[in-house]
């Protein structure tokens, strides 16, 4: 009896082992640690590229006459020897005074091509050091630099420099980079976290035959789009709830230390326009990814199939996040252009463009382009469901109705007949 029980137990164990191992899903399970590492590497590379882009454009500016400029350059070369490469201050740029020096210094902070956190003006004996909240460390360096230059020139010891905090009138390079990365990360996180609900919804209604009843009452494209809009409403409610809490929590973040990173955020299009564009691109990214998940859920029959089909989509989204992060770090490049045009990465990359560039008109074209792809994805998903599950005809009329031209087409057909 015991031998028979053992044999039956091993038979069940062998059956479950074979059913689990000899499936594509198990291969994805084996590769899941590698996938998680890939997620972390891509996210880290995106943030590192953005930080490196800001560091490469950072400079220190000294607005002094030529003789003092030469002394500062020599002192700068001497002092840099004590720094490790990673800890060295930004490069020093010498500019000759041009008329109104205070206005020239303010204009240096507002440059769009360089990240300027500290500017030295005035004679070295009584220098004025202007600095932003991010420039306290480099202000100390310029103070020491002025004293070293005076010592090399055998000049009298300088009086204490006048340190003047300033506020930028235009977004800085670092502020735009931070805005771009946070926009890409925010849209990616929200869409990945919220759009996965769409998979189980269609599969559940397919299993209990509700989808057939809905498809008999209204066009299948309307079913897909309606479900997508309903779930998007749930996502908006989720974002509004946590966004309200986050906005209130931001009041308790100190302006110094880590809180300074939040104060430096400054998108190129301006805060209100950036908020509207972020909402629009989040909507397009959610609708596009949600439409893909709906199509997957409509084709899958079991939860195992849903998981097997969903994971490649999630991996693709992670790759799109990496592409958009690279585009955010290098605006105007070929990589950025590809990311802005490719449908799956376009919402992320265009949100980063809103942070990096002030033009508005490209965003109108991008939103229309993304809406077109949402329509196409819904049509493809509905057509595949109609042919593969319902075993009915073409979805051409459903696409025309979804694009809003079905009425015109019907009128033309009636006139021809």
Residue 267 pLDDT: 80
Residues 350, 362 contacting (CB under 8 angstroms): yes
Q: What share of the chain has pLDDT > 90, as a percent?
A: 7
What's the confidence (pLDDT) of residue 194? Answer: 73
Whole-number pLDDT of residue 40? 64
The pLDDT of residue 143 is 84
Backbone angles phi, psi at 129, to 5 degrees: -115, 115
What is the structure's pLDDT at 367? 93
Locate the DSSP E strands across 189-347.
none
Average pLDDT (382-403) is: 56
Report helix, strand or coil for 94.
strand
**pTM for this predicted structure:** 0.68
Examine the pLDDT at 205 and tell me if it is beyond 60.
Answer: yes
Q: Is the pLDDT of residue 404 over 50?
A: no
Model confidence pLDDT, tens digit, residues 355-387? 888 889 999 999 999 999 988 888 887 787 777
15-29, 166-180, 217-231, 391-405: lowest mean pLDDT where? 391-405
Token pair of 271 as six digits = 């805060």
What's the confidence (pLDDT) of residue 13?
81
What are the tokens at 113? 């091509």
Per the model's pLDDT, the better-predicted residue between 411 and 166 turns out to be: 166
């Amino acid at each position: 009896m015991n031998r028979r029980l053992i044999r039956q137990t091993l038979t069940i164990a062998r059956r479950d082992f074979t059913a689990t191992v000899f499936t594509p899903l198990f291969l994805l399970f084996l590769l899941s640690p590698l996938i998680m590492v890939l997620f972390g590497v891509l996210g880290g590379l995106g943030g590192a590229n953005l930080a490196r882009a800001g560091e490469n454009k950072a400079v220190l500016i000294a607005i002094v006459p030529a003789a003092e400029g030469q002394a500062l350059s020599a002192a700068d070369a001497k002092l840099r020897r004590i720094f490790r490469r990673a800890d060295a201050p930004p490069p020093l740029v010498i500019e000759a005074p041009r008329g109104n020096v205070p206005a020239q210094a303010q204009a240096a902070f507002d440059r769009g091509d360089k990240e300027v956190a500290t500017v030295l003006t005035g004679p070295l004996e009584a220098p004025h050091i202007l600095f932003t909240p991010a420039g306290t460390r480099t202000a100390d360096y310029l103070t020491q630099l002025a004293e070293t230059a005076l010592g090399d020139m055998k000049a009298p010891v300088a009086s204490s420099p006048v340190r003047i905090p300033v506020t930028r009138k235009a977004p800085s390079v670092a502020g735009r980079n931070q805005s771009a990365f946070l926009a890409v990360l925010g849209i990616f996180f929200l869409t990945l976290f919220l759009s996965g609900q769409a998979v189980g919804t269609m599969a559940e209604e397919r299993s209990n035959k509700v989808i057939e009843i809905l498809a008999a009452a209204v066009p299948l494209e309307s079913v897909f789009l309606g479900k997508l809009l309903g779930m998007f409403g749930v996502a908006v409610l989720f974002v509004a709830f946590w966004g309200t809490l986050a906005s209130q929590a931001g009041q308790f973040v100190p302006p110094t230390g880590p809180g300074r990173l939040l104060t430096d955020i400054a998108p190129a299009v301006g805060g209100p326009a950036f908020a509207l564009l972020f909402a629009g691109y989040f909507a397009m990214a959610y609708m596009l990814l949600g439409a893909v998940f709906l199509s997957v859920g409509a084709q899958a029959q079991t939860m195992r199939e849903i998981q097997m089909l969903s994971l490649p989509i999630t991996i693709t989204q992670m790759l799109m996040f990496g592409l958009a992060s690279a585009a955010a770090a290098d605006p105007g490049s070929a990589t950025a252009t590809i990311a802005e045009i490719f449908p799956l990465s376009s919402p992320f990359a265009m949100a980063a463009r809103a942070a990096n560039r002030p033009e508005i008109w490209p965003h109108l074209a991008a939103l229309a382009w993304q809406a077109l792809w949402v329509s196409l994805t819904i049509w493809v998903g509905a057509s595949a469901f109609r042919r593969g599950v319902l075993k009915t005809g073409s979805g051409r009329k459903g696409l025309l109705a979804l694009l809003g031209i079905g009425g015109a087409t019907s009128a033309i057909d009636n006139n021809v007949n």
